Amino acid sequence: MLNASQIVKEIQSKYKIIGRTEELKKIILARSVDKNLIIEGQVGTGKTRIAKAISSFYDTDFARIDCSEETLPHNLVGYFDPPLVISKGYQEDSYIYGPLASSMLKGGCLFINEINRMPESTQNSLLTALDEGILEIPKLKTIKAHSKFFTIATQNPAAHVGVTVIGEALKDRFIWIKLDFQPSEEEVLIIKQEANLDNLDGEKIAQLSQQIIHHSRNNRSIQRGSSIRGAIDLAQLISKTEEINSSKNWVNTAIMALYNKVELEDGVTSSKEEIIADIVLSALNKSDFQ
Protein backbone atom coordinates (compact mmCIF):
# COMPACT_ATOMS: atom_id res chain seq x y z
CA MET A 1 0.00 0.00 0.00
CA LEU A 2 1.26 3.47 -0.86
CA ASN A 3 1.31 6.03 1.93
CA ALA A 4 -0.27 9.48 1.55
CA SER A 5 2.97 11.22 0.48
CA GLN A 6 3.62 8.62 -2.19
CA ILE A 7 0.07 8.94 -3.50
CA VAL A 8 0.47 12.73 -3.64
CA LYS A 9 3.72 12.40 -5.61
CA GLU A 10 2.10 9.96 -7.99
CA ILE A 11 -0.86 12.29 -8.60
CA GLN A 12 1.45 15.28 -9.11
CA SER A 13 3.56 13.48 -11.67
CA LYS A 14 0.77 11.63 -13.46
CA TYR A 15 -1.40 14.73 -13.90
CA LYS A 16 1.40 17.30 -14.06
CA ILE A 17 0.19 19.19 -11.02
CA ILE A 18 2.73 21.64 -9.66
CA GLY A 19 2.82 21.98 -5.88
CA ARG A 20 -0.47 21.66 -3.94
CA THR A 21 1.14 18.97 -1.78
CA GLU A 22 -0.75 19.91 1.40
CA GLU A 23 -4.07 20.25 -0.37
CA LEU A 24 -3.65 16.89 -2.12
CA LYS A 25 -2.82 15.28 1.23
CA LYS A 26 -6.05 16.62 2.67
CA ILE A 27 -7.98 15.32 -0.31
CA ILE A 28 -6.45 11.87 0.05
CA LEU A 29 -7.27 11.86 3.75
CA ALA A 30 -10.90 12.72 3.00
CA ARG A 31 -11.06 10.03 0.31
CA SER A 32 -9.63 7.45 2.69
CA VAL A 33 -12.84 7.77 4.70
CA ASP A 34 -15.06 7.98 1.59
CA LYS A 35 -16.07 11.61 1.92
CA ASN A 36 -17.50 13.82 -0.82
CA LEU A 37 -15.31 16.81 -1.56
CA ILE A 38 -15.87 20.40 -2.48
CA ILE A 39 -12.85 22.30 -3.76
CA GLU A 40 -13.17 26.03 -3.31
CA GLY A 41 -10.97 28.75 -4.78
CA GLN A 42 -10.78 31.84 -6.96
CA VAL A 43 -10.86 31.53 -10.73
CA GLY A 44 -7.71 29.82 -12.03
CA THR A 45 -6.52 28.33 -8.74
CA GLY A 46 -6.59 24.87 -10.30
CA LYS A 47 -9.94 23.59 -8.99
CA THR A 48 -10.95 21.87 -12.19
CA ARG A 49 -7.46 20.55 -12.81
CA ILE A 50 -7.21 18.98 -9.35
CA ALA A 51 -10.77 17.67 -9.28
CA LYS A 52 -10.27 16.00 -12.67
CA ALA A 53 -6.98 14.50 -11.53
CA ILE A 54 -8.52 13.11 -8.35
CA SER A 55 -11.59 11.70 -10.03
CA SER A 56 -9.46 10.05 -12.65
CA PHE A 57 -6.93 8.78 -10.10
CA TYR A 58 -9.59 7.00 -8.07
CA ASP A 59 -11.79 6.01 -10.95
CA THR A 60 -10.96 6.28 -14.62
CA ASP A 61 -14.61 6.23 -15.61
CA PHE A 62 -15.93 9.43 -14.09
CA ALA A 63 -19.00 11.39 -15.10
CA ARG A 64 -18.79 15.15 -15.36
CA ILE A 65 -21.37 17.90 -15.26
CA ASP A 66 -20.53 21.56 -15.84
CA CYS A 67 -23.15 23.60 -14.04
CA SER A 68 -24.88 26.76 -15.13
CA GLU A 69 -27.99 28.60 -14.03
CA GLU A 70 -29.82 26.42 -16.56
CA THR A 71 -28.73 23.06 -15.16
CA LEU A 72 -31.98 21.23 -14.44
CA PRO A 73 -32.59 18.07 -12.40
CA HIS A 74 -32.92 16.01 -15.59
CA ASN A 75 -29.44 17.12 -16.70
CA LEU A 76 -28.10 15.60 -13.51
CA VAL A 77 -30.35 12.59 -12.99
CA GLY A 78 -31.47 11.62 -16.49
CA TYR A 79 -34.75 11.58 -18.40
CA PHE A 80 -37.15 9.48 -20.46
CA ASP A 81 -36.66 10.07 -24.15
CA PRO A 82 -40.17 10.98 -25.43
CA PRO A 83 -40.02 9.14 -28.82
CA LEU A 84 -38.67 6.02 -27.11
CA VAL A 85 -41.39 6.20 -24.47
CA ILE A 86 -44.01 6.30 -27.25
CA SER A 87 -42.57 3.22 -28.95
CA LYS A 88 -41.42 1.21 -25.93
CA GLY A 89 -43.16 2.65 -22.89
CA TYR A 90 -41.64 3.65 -19.57
CA GLN A 91 -38.85 1.14 -19.33
CA GLU A 92 -35.08 0.86 -19.07
CA ASP A 93 -34.40 1.26 -22.80
CA SER A 94 -36.29 4.53 -22.94
CA TYR A 95 -34.30 6.13 -20.16
CA ILE A 96 -31.24 8.27 -20.78
CA TYR A 97 -29.07 8.15 -17.68
CA GLY A 98 -27.61 11.42 -16.47
CA PRO A 99 -24.21 11.71 -14.79
CA LEU A 100 -25.60 11.28 -11.26
CA ALA A 101 -27.57 8.11 -12.03
CA SER A 102 -24.81 6.54 -14.08
CA SER A 103 -22.05 7.19 -11.58
CA MET A 104 -24.23 5.82 -8.77
CA LEU A 105 -24.86 2.66 -10.79
CA LYS A 106 -21.25 2.17 -11.87
CA GLY A 107 -19.70 3.28 -8.59
CA GLY A 108 -17.74 6.02 -10.26
CA CYS A 109 -16.87 9.56 -9.40
CA LEU A 110 -19.34 12.28 -10.16
CA PHE A 111 -17.46 15.47 -10.91
CA ILE A 112 -19.67 18.55 -10.50
CA ASN A 113 -17.86 21.56 -11.89
CA GLU A 114 -18.92 24.95 -10.46
CA ILE A 115 -21.65 23.55 -8.23
CA ASN A 116 -22.48 27.04 -6.95
CA ARG A 117 -24.00 27.85 -10.33
CA MET A 118 -26.52 25.02 -9.99
CA PRO A 119 -30.08 26.17 -9.17
CA GLU A 120 -31.46 25.16 -5.78
CA SER A 121 -34.08 22.86 -7.32
CA THR A 122 -31.30 20.88 -9.00
CA GLN A 123 -29.23 20.81 -5.81
CA ASN A 124 -32.11 19.02 -4.13
CA SER A 125 -31.80 16.01 -6.45
CA LEU A 126 -28.35 15.47 -5.01
CA LEU A 127 -29.32 15.39 -1.36
CA THR A 128 -30.69 11.87 -0.91
CA ALA A 129 -28.14 10.53 -3.35
CA LEU A 130 -25.31 11.86 -1.20
CA ASP A 131 -26.95 11.11 2.13
CA GLU A 132 -28.46 7.71 1.72
CA GLY A 133 -27.04 6.62 -1.60
CA ILE A 134 -30.53 6.44 -3.01
CA LEU A 135 -31.96 7.94 -6.17
CA GLU A 136 -35.62 7.61 -7.01
CA ILE A 137 -36.44 7.53 -10.71
CA PRO A 138 -40.22 7.71 -10.98
CA LYS A 139 -41.80 5.10 -13.30
CA LEU A 140 -38.51 3.21 -13.55
CA LYS A 141 -36.67 2.22 -10.39
CA THR A 142 -34.86 3.22 -7.27
CA ILE A 143 -31.12 3.24 -7.68
CA LYS A 144 -28.98 2.18 -4.74
CA ALA A 145 -25.51 3.61 -5.09
CA HIS A 146 -22.58 1.29 -5.64
CA SER A 147 -20.26 1.46 -2.63
CA LYS A 148 -17.57 3.21 -4.69
CA PHE A 149 -19.77 6.13 -5.75
CA PHE A 150 -18.44 9.53 -4.68
CA THR A 151 -18.60 13.18 -5.63
CA ILE A 152 -16.07 15.93 -6.17
CA ALA A 153 -17.42 19.42 -6.71
CA THR A 154 -15.76 22.76 -7.34
CA GLN A 155 -16.97 26.23 -6.45
CA ASN A 156 -15.90 29.87 -6.46
CA PRO A 157 -15.87 31.67 -3.10
CA ALA A 158 -19.26 33.15 -2.18
CA ALA A 159 -17.96 36.72 -2.26
CA HIS A 160 -17.24 36.35 -5.96
CA VAL A 161 -19.41 38.47 -8.26
CA GLY A 162 -22.21 36.57 -9.96
CA VAL A 163 -22.02 33.57 -7.72
CA THR A 164 -24.97 32.10 -5.86
CA VAL A 165 -24.41 30.33 -2.59
CA ILE A 166 -25.06 26.63 -2.42
CA GLY A 167 -27.73 25.62 0.06
CA GLU A 168 -26.92 24.79 3.68
CA ALA A 169 -28.32 21.30 3.32
CA LEU A 170 -26.09 20.51 0.38
CA LYS A 171 -23.00 22.16 1.87
CA ASP A 172 -23.41 20.03 4.95
CA ARG A 173 -22.66 16.90 2.87
CA PHE A 174 -19.22 17.97 1.70
CA ILE A 175 -15.71 18.14 3.12
CA TRP A 176 -14.15 21.51 2.30
CA ILE A 177 -10.78 21.97 0.60
CA LYS A 178 -9.55 25.51 -0.01
CA LEU A 179 -7.17 26.49 -2.81
CA ASP A 180 -5.40 29.82 -2.31
CA PHE A 181 -3.14 31.42 -4.89
CA GLN A 182 0.12 29.47 -5.17
CA PRO A 183 3.56 30.92 -4.34
CA SER A 184 5.18 32.93 -7.17
CA GLU A 185 7.81 30.27 -7.96
CA GLU A 186 5.09 27.66 -8.44
CA GLU A 187 3.07 29.99 -10.61
CA VAL A 188 6.12 30.52 -12.83
CA LEU A 189 6.47 26.74 -13.21
CA ILE A 190 2.78 26.41 -14.08
CA ILE A 191 3.06 29.17 -16.71
CA LYS A 192 6.12 27.53 -18.26
CA GLN A 193 4.40 24.16 -18.37
CA GLU A 194 0.99 25.29 -19.60
CA ALA A 195 2.33 27.76 -22.19
CA ASN A 196 4.90 25.21 -23.42
CA LEU A 197 7.78 27.62 -22.91
CA ASP A 198 10.78 25.44 -23.39
CA ASN A 199 13.04 27.80 -25.33
CA LEU A 200 15.78 29.93 -23.80
CA ASP A 201 13.57 32.95 -23.26
CA GLY A 202 10.85 30.83 -21.66
CA GLU A 203 12.03 31.36 -18.12
CA LYS A 204 12.19 35.14 -18.52
CA ILE A 205 8.80 35.29 -20.22
CA ALA A 206 7.18 33.15 -17.54
CA GLN A 207 8.69 35.24 -14.74
CA LEU A 208 7.62 38.53 -16.20
CA SER A 209 4.11 37.26 -17.01
CA GLN A 210 3.79 36.07 -13.43
CA GLN A 211 4.96 39.42 -12.06
CA ILE A 212 2.42 41.23 -14.21
CA ILE A 213 -0.54 39.20 -12.91
CA HIS A 214 0.85 39.45 -9.39
CA HIS A 215 0.88 43.26 -9.65
CA SER A 216 -2.64 43.22 -11.08
CA ARG A 217 -3.76 41.53 -7.84
CA ASN A 218 -2.17 44.23 -5.67
CA ASN A 219 -3.08 47.27 -7.76
CA ARG A 220 -5.29 49.80 -5.95
CA SER A 221 -7.39 50.53 -9.03
CA ILE A 222 -8.17 46.86 -9.58
CA GLN A 223 -10.87 45.06 -7.66
CA ARG A 224 -10.16 41.60 -9.04
CA GLY A 225 -6.72 40.85 -10.45
CA SER A 226 -5.85 38.35 -13.12
CA SER A 227 -5.99 34.61 -12.67
CA ILE A 228 -3.06 32.51 -13.78
CA ARG A 229 -4.82 32.07 -17.12
CA GLY A 230 -3.94 35.70 -17.83
CA ALA A 231 -0.26 34.93 -17.43
CA ILE A 232 -0.50 31.72 -19.48
CA ASP A 233 -2.27 33.60 -22.29
CA LEU A 234 0.19 36.48 -22.12
CA ALA A 235 3.20 34.16 -22.17
CA GLN A 236 1.82 32.29 -25.19
CA LEU A 237 1.05 35.49 -27.09
CA ILE A 238 4.33 37.28 -26.38
CA SER A 239 6.44 34.24 -27.22
CA LYS A 240 4.87 34.15 -30.70
CA THR A 241 5.61 37.81 -31.46
CA GLU A 242 8.66 38.88 -33.44
CA GLU A 243 10.26 40.89 -30.69
CA ILE A 244 9.87 39.66 -27.19
CA ASN A 245 12.07 42.49 -25.92
CA SER A 246 9.76 45.23 -27.15
CA SER A 247 7.86 46.92 -24.36
CA LYS A 248 5.19 47.92 -26.88
CA ASN A 249 4.64 44.25 -27.67
CA TRP A 250 4.37 43.42 -23.98
CA VAL A 251 1.81 46.16 -23.41
CA ASN A 252 -0.26 45.16 -26.44
CA THR A 253 -0.31 41.44 -25.68
CA ALA A 254 -0.91 42.06 -21.98
CA ILE A 255 -4.00 44.10 -22.82
CA MET A 256 -5.23 41.27 -25.05
CA ALA A 257 -4.54 38.66 -22.38
CA LEU A 258 -5.71 40.49 -19.26
CA TYR A 259 -8.52 42.78 -20.37
CA ASN A 260 -11.30 40.28 -19.65
CA LYS A 261 -9.63 38.92 -16.57
CA VAL A 262 -9.38 42.04 -14.41
CA GLU A 263 -12.20 44.06 -12.87
CA LEU A 264 -11.61 47.72 -11.96
CA GLU A 265 -12.68 49.26 -8.64
CA ASP A 266 -15.78 51.46 -8.80
CA GLY A 267 -15.06 55.08 -9.60
CA VAL A 268 -11.66 54.53 -11.22
CA THR A 269 -11.25 57.14 -13.96
CA SER A 270 -8.34 55.63 -15.92
CA SER A 271 -9.22 53.04 -18.55
CA LYS A 272 -8.44 49.37 -18.14
CA GLU A 273 -5.94 49.62 -21.01
CA GLU A 274 -4.06 52.43 -19.24
CA ILE A 275 -3.92 50.57 -15.96
CA ILE A 276 -2.70 47.36 -17.58
CA ALA A 277 -0.08 49.35 -19.55
CA ASP A 278 1.19 50.96 -16.31
CA ILE A 279 1.49 47.59 -14.61
CA VAL A 280 3.38 46.10 -17.57
CA LEU A 281 5.80 49.04 -17.87
CA SER A 282 6.61 49.06 -14.18
CA ALA A 283 7.15 45.28 -14.19
CA LEU A 284 9.42 45.63 -17.25
CA ASN A 285 11.42 48.37 -15.54
CA LYS A 286 12.07 46.17 -12.55
CA SER A 287 13.02 43.16 -14.67
CA ASP A 288 16.27 42.35 -16.42
CA PHE A 289 14.52 42.38 -19.79
CA GLN A 290 15.74 44.73 -22.59
Size of the site for ligand ADP (CB under 6 A): 19
Q: Is 73 a binder of ligand ADP (CB under 6 A)?
A: no
Q: Is 163 a binder of ligand ADP (CB under 6 A)?
A: no
Question: What residues line the site for Mg ion (CB under 5 A)?
Answer: 48
CB-nearer residue toward ligand ADP: 178 or 286: 178
Alpha-carbon distance values, 151 to 48, 65, 100, 130, 185 (Å)? 13, 11, 9, 8, 32
Query: In whole angstroms, how close is the CB of 154 to Mg ion at the nearest point?
Result: 6
Q: Which of residues 212-231 bind ligand ADP (CB under 6 A)?
A: 228-229
Q: Is 72 a binder of ligand ADP (CB under 6 A)?
A: no
Q: Which of residues 172-191 bind ligand ADP (CB under 6 A)?
A: 190
Query: In whole angstroms, how close is the CB of 158 to ligand ADP at the nearest point?
Result: 15
CB-nearer residue toward ligand ADP: 48 or 247: 48
Q: How would you label 174-207 residue by residue, b for 16+ Cβ within 10 Å and e otherwise? A: beebebebbeeeebbbbbbebbebeeeebeebbb
Nearest residue to ligand ADP, scored by beta-carbon proximity: 46
Q: From Mg ion, ligand ADP, none, which one binds at residue 146 (CB under 5 to 8 Å depending on kind)?
A: none
Q: From ligand ADP, Mg ion, none, which one binds at residue 228 (CB under 5 to 8 Å depending on kind)?
A: ligand ADP
Binding site residues, ligand ADP, CB under 6 A: 16-20, 41, 43-49, 154, 190, 194, 228-229, 232
